[in-house]
Amino acid sequence: MHIPDGYLSPSTCVSLAAAAAPFWYVALKRVKSALHARLIPLISLFAAFSFVIMMFNLPLPGGTTGHAVGMGVASIVLGPWASILAISIALTIQAVFFGDGGITAIGANCFNMAIVGSLVGYATYRMVAWRAGLGSARRVVAAGLAGYTAINVAALCAAIEFGIQPLLFRDASGAPLYAPYPLRIAIPAMMLGHLTLAGLAELVISSGMVAYLQRTDPGLLRLTAPDAPASDDRSLTPAARKTVAARQVPTARRLWLALAALLILTPLGILAVGSAWGEWSARDFSDPQVRREIAEASHNQAPPPAAPRGLERLSTVWTAPLSRYAPSFIRGASFGYLVSAMVGVGLIIALALLLNWVLARLPAGAGRRRRKSFVEKTARGLLEATGQVLFAEDMAATGGLLQRLDPRVKLIGIGALIAAAVAVHRLWVLAGILVLGVALALASHIPMRLLAARVWLAVLAFTGAIAVPAIFLTPGAAVWRLPLLDWPVTQQGLRSAGFLILRAETAATLSMLLILTTLWTRLLRAMRYFRAPVVVVAILGMTYRYMFLFLATARDMFESRESRMVGVLEPADRRRLAAASAGVLLGKTLQVSGEVHMAMQARGFRGEIRLLDELQMRPNDWLRLAAFVGAATFAVWLGR
Amino acid sequence: MTELAFDVRDVSYRYNQVAALGGLSMQVKRGERVALLGANGSGKSTLLRLLAGLCFPDRGEISFLGESLTEQRLQDEEFFFGFRRRVGLVFQNADVQLFNPSVFDELAFGPLQLRWPAQKIRERVGEVLRSMDIAHLQDRAPHRLSGGEKKRVALASVLVLDPEVLLLDEPSGALDPSSQARIVDFLVSCGNGSKTVIIATHDLDTLEDIADRCYVFANGRVAGEGTPLEVLHNVELLERAKLIRPHAHVHAHGEGAVQPHPHVHRHEGS
């Protein structure tokens, strides 16, 4: 879901950032007005909260775990506009400090998750909850659906962005320059994961958190529930709270029912976009129109006249049992799509359950590591995240080449190089930029082992898995055929996979340089020089600061839980525990944000933040900046 | 006649439907150091927030230097900045108070909001950094500070405005002895009448050094008042305010003569 660098073309990134801009503008306007002064700490802390929530391993059915984004909760507690800001900030920090999601793709990721996600989540919640009381079970269901819908619509946006890349951006040989899969592959591939795992994670978090707020501080749900009857607001008596708590069990069951309905209904909504799923490859090869397009795109080299036999076999798996006896409407594209989507989703769940069953039956200790509990995993993840940032800060305090640069020069300079890596159309220029990045890393005393483990291998594992099928699926001149399956390896496919992997590696290496050599506090102060809005700088700073507090709080929570845990928790208990931990963290977030607002007021804050404008750039800094931008421009020119 | 810094008359305040203060009255003179004693949840922190103009009483009135402190009055920009300049509050939780990315920014925040010129801010921040012995921390981020350092920075972030009135919420709570001693030293140095200091605490050990007068709180009301020595000797009052607990334990008097008796533990002097 977090789109890395290199998957989207520069023009897509720019368009999506431009599409996001008006939303950010309106959101900032709303937050700036003095009436909403308390929103500044609230947004910062919520962003930090959302960041920490993204690190939670949420237990899902079938023994797997997933991560949530938190846009459902954010839009319910903060309202859609403040939620847009909070999630955007959290995504920016993830990209800048953890290399999770590309720097050039920040606009796209914010558009999908922060903007589309918040608005869809908010709309769903308002529509489903309607005028139900603040403490009603209906709100819990509404929140779950809001989270589920929000993340799925966001994933659909990302899938469409991926899917249009090969249509629009190809090199001279017809090889896709960015994400290689067309809509009819990108959409089902993305949606499958989100309709199941990621969607569930979001659902668990959103509904669990609203249930938590109903019990602890229902007044917080008032902001997005203006129509709810006033009677049960705030003044829930202890007895009433108990009844709310008692309703938790049926609520969970209703949630599962609602989810089942969603699994069936959601594919309908996607129908408008792609053609039927499961028919992509074979039909393509026999359609004369598409064949002509392929031929044109591949320098008039005719594609193989028939579908590769392996692919044809694969595609008939879905339709085979139905086609002979089914009435005609069942053979229609829509119905076929619906059925295959349902079968696909069911298959994934069944596969997960089967895997879980098999793993559970394997003899323990038979050369297999003990499976870590989600509590342990989360606690370790939180510790690692803190460790990573602290390590980066230590690294940035040493005296290497990049460390000595003015933070502004570094931000823009490395940003320009990343943009160049995303923009060039020649593999050797891309490789040249990577070499430059490695040289800079060496000059800045960054251990190569760290780059290899945290960047090169990690990116290769992720992007490699995505790129490999493109070798076969990209139409073009076959250079080799797989024995047995007879799938053609196309020259265009190889180039396309090469582009994707090399771009992702180069951009991730450069981002890591930025992360490991920049002191964030100095960068924030320096950002004011570029007239970055004060509110944004202040919120970014506060988010980063409280991220550490919440990471520590969450870690303490999970570690103390771990120390008291005996035996293995039931799956339902695990989910309840995860949601409750998130709830406690949310409670802490809101409490701290209220107090921070008071602390700001006590020192003269009246809704408009003032910051010290920092130092001018010196001539030397301009020179270095020119060197970076010059190198980036030269690379773009070479690789055009 | 000495001027009153704060005059609190019959103030009630409810927090989440629960009465935090119920009909509380007290006076603090200018230049006086007053300790607010009370158990957890006795309303000390709430009172400090009311005195700092961060929340406002449901009933009753608070005046600062003879001027009534209301939400409306603080809407006025001139009064707001004047009041913020003169009254500083150090929060109990330093993590709440340190919301800026670095120690330097933290100290500069107050002066910036009060629209001091940039040059004056840099000079004043440097001065306070040195006097509080935290100059070496100035580029440090708050998550890289120890508990004692956080408290010192929080105090410095308020002192940078050189307020006449200092409100401190548990300034030495949960600190190691050396960090605690630094804070106490500072409070002792305020004893010359230069600053009005109001400290919420339940630490009886240092009371005589840091306060001229004490108010004892119980259940959102003033349960007693007096000099530190008077209050410390009023065992009944301290017990009622849950500041000390009579506990039975045994002392061996001679051989076999074991006598349990209720017994108050207190440390006086050194």
Q: Answer yes or no: is pLDDT of B71 > 90.
A: no
**Contact A182/A162 with Cβ under 8 angstroms?**
no
pLDDT digits (tens, 9 = 90+) for A297-349: 444 444 444 443 433 433 343 343 444 334 444 444 445 555 555 555 565 55
Distance CA A237, CA A215 (A): 10
Helix (H, G, I), strand (E, B) or coil at A598: helix
Distance CA A135, CA A240 (A): 9
Residues of chain B contacting residue A592, judged by C-beta atoms under 8 Å apart: 95-96
Residues of chain B contacting residue A605, judged by C-beta atoms under 8 Å apart: 113
Distance CA A522, CA A527 (A): 9
CB distance B99–A546 less than 8 Å? yes
Q: What is the mean pLDDT of residues A50-73?
A: 72
**Contact A463/A501 with Cβ under 8 angstroms?**
yes
Per-residue pLDDT band at B140 (split at 50, 70, 90) = confident
Q: What is the pLDDT of residue A253?
A: 55
Name the least confident of A78-92, A232-246, A548-562, B65-79.
A232-246
Q: What is the mean pLDDT of residues A364-369?
A: 43
Q: What is the pLDDT of residue A58?
A: 67
Q: Answer yes or no: is pLDDT of B251 > 70.
A: no
Residue with the bigger pLDDT between A404 and A571: it is A404
Q: What is the mean pLDDT of residues A608-627?
A: 78
Strand partners, B196: B165
Strands (E), chain B: 4-15, 18-29, 33-37, 59-64, 67-68, 87-90, 165-169, 196-201, 213-218, 221-226, 249-252, 258-261
Q: What is the pLDDT of residue A435?
A: 93
Q: What is the mean pLDDT of residues A167-185?
A: 80
pLDDT digits (tens, 9 = 90+) for A186-222: 887 778 778 877 788 888 888 888 888 888 777 778 7
Per-residue pLDDT band at A124 (split at 50, 70, 90) = very high
Residue with the bigger pLDDT between A505 and A354: it is A505
Q: What is the DSSP letter of A170?
A: B
Which residues make up the CATH 1.10.1760.20 domain(s) of chain A? 10-277+332-357+533-602
Q: What is the pLDDT of residue A434?
A: 92
Q: What is the mean pLDDT of residues B202-224?
A: 85
Residue with the bigger pLDDT between A343 and A268: it is A343
Q: What is the DSSP letter of B190?
A: G
Residues of chain A contacting residue B118, judged by C-beta atoms under 8 Å apart: 612-613
Distance CA B10, CA B8 (A): 7
Q: To which residue do tokens 């339709």 refer? A: A319
**For A547, which residue in chain B has the nearest alpha carbon?**
B143
Helix (H, G, I), strand (E, B) or coil at A37: coil
**For B110, which residue in chain A has the nearest alpha carbon?**
A603
pLDDT digits (tens, 9 = 90+) for A570-613: 666 777 777 778 888 888 888 888 888 888 888 888 777 777 76
Q: What is the pLDDT of residue B15?
A: 76
Percent of chain A clearing pLDDT 70 (strictly above): 72
CATH number of this structure's domain A10-277+332-357+533-602, picked from the four choices 1.10.1760.20, 1.10.8.420, 1.10.645.10, 2.40.50.140: 1.10.1760.20
Q: What is the pLDDT of residue A299?
A: 42
Highest-pLDDT range among A110-124, A341-355, A377-391, B40-54: A110-124
Q: Which residues of A396-424 are buried (b: 16+ CB within 10 A; e: fewer)?
A: beeebebbebbbbbbbbbbbbbbbbbbbb
pLDDT digits (tens, 9 = 90+) for B159-207: 999 899 999 998 877 777 887 888 888 888 877 777 899 999 887 888 8
Per-residue pLDDT band at A33 (split at 50, 70, 90) = low
ipTM score assigned to the predicted complex: 0.86
Q: What is the pLDDT of residue A273?
A: 36
Q: Answer yes or no: is pLDDT of A261 > 60.
A: no
Residues of chain A contacting residue B147, judged by C-beta atoms under 8 Å apart: none
CB pairs under 8 A between A and B: 93
Residues of chain A contacting residue B121, judged by C-beta atoms under 8 Å apart: 612
Give the gap in angstroms from C-alpha B225 to the nearest C-alpha of chain A: 28
- The domains found in chain B, sorted by start residue, are 29-38+72-261 (3.40.50.300)
The total of other beta-carbon atoms located within 10 Å of residue A497's CB is 24
Give the gap in angstroms from C-alpha B235 to the nearest C-alpha of chain A: 35
Distance CA A495, CA A490 (A): 9
CB distance B99–A548 less than 8 Å? no
**Contact A373/A568 with Cβ under 8 angstroms?**
yes
Residue type at position A627? A
Helix (H, G, I), strand (E, B) or coil at A307: coil
Q: Answer yes or no: is pLDDT of A279 > 50.
A: no
CB distance B80–A548 less than 8 Å? no
Give the gap in angstroms from C-alpha A552 to the nearest C-alpha of chain B: 10
Contact status of B3 with chain A (Cβ, < 8 Å): no
Percent of chain B clearing pLDDT 70 (strictly above): 89
Q: What is the mean pLDDT of residues A445-457?
A: 84
CB distance A603–B98 less than 8 Å? no
CB distance B96–A541 less than 8 Å? no
pLDDT digits (tens, 9 = 90+) for A181-193: 888 778 877 787 7
Residues of chain B contacting residue A596, judged by C-beta atoms under 8 Å apart: 96, 99
Pair of tokens at residue A55: 């690190």
Q: To which residue do tokens 């800026």 refer? A: B100
**For B95, which residue in chain A has the nearest alpha carbon?**
A549
Site from B49, B56, B90, B99 to mutate, A interface, most A CB atoms within 10 angstroms: B99
Q: What is the pLDDT of residue B34?
A: 92
Q: What is the mean pLDDT of residues B41-69?
A: 88
Contact status of B74 with chain A (Cβ, < 8 Å): no
**Contact A6/A421 with Cβ under 8 angstroms?**
yes
Q: What is the pLDDT of residue B198?
A: 92
Residue type at position B95? D
pLDDT digits (tens, 9 = 90+) for B85-133: 999 999 988 888 898 888 988 999 999 888 888 889 999 999 999 988 8
Q: Answer yes or no: is pLDDT of A171 > 60.
A: yes
Residues 6+ apart with CB under 8 A from A227: A130, A131
Per-residue pLDDT band at A57 (split at 50, 70, 90) = low
Q: What is the pLDDT of residue B90?
A: 92
Per-residue pLDDT band at A350 (split at 50, 70, 90) = low
CB distance B144–A393 less than 8 Å? yes
CB distance B85–A604 less than 8 Å? yes
pLDDT digits (tens, 9 = 90+) for A469-504: 777 777 777 777 777 667 777 878 888 888 888 888
Contact status of B99 with chain A (Cβ, < 8 Å): yes
Give the gap in angstroms from C-alpha A599 to the nearest C-alpha of chain B: 6
CB distance A599–B96 less than 8 Å? yes
Q: What is the pLDDT of residue A361?
A: 60
Distance CA A111, CA A18 (A): 9
Contact status of B136 with chain A (Cβ, < 8 Å): no
Q: To which residue do tokens 């570029």 refer? A: A530
CB distance A595–B91 less than 8 Å? yes
Q: Which residues of A167-190 are buried (b: 16+ CB within 10 A; e: fewer)?
A: eebbeebbbbbbbbbbbbbbbbbb
Q: What is the mean pLDDT of residues A28-39?
A: 68
CB distance A604–B54 less than 8 Å? no
Q: What are the CA-CA distances from residue B120 to residues B111, B117, B131, B187 (Å)?
A: 9, 6, 17, 26
**For B157, which residue in chain A has the nearest alpha carbon?**
A603
Per-residue pLDDT band at A376 (split at 50, 70, 90) = confident
Q: What are the CA-CA distances from residue A75 to residues A26, A70, A636 (Å)?
A: 15, 9, 40
Q: What is the mean pLDDT of residues A107-131?
A: 91
Q: What is the pLDDT of residue A300?
A: 42
Mean predicted lDDT score pLDDT of chain B: 83
Q: Answer yes or no: is pLDDT of A281 > 50.
A: no
Q: What is the pLDDT of residue A438?
A: 92
Name the least confident of A24-33, A111-120, A165-174, A366-375.
A366-375
Mean predicted lDDT score pLDDT of chain A: 74
Q: Answer yes or no: is pLDDT of A256 > 60.
A: no
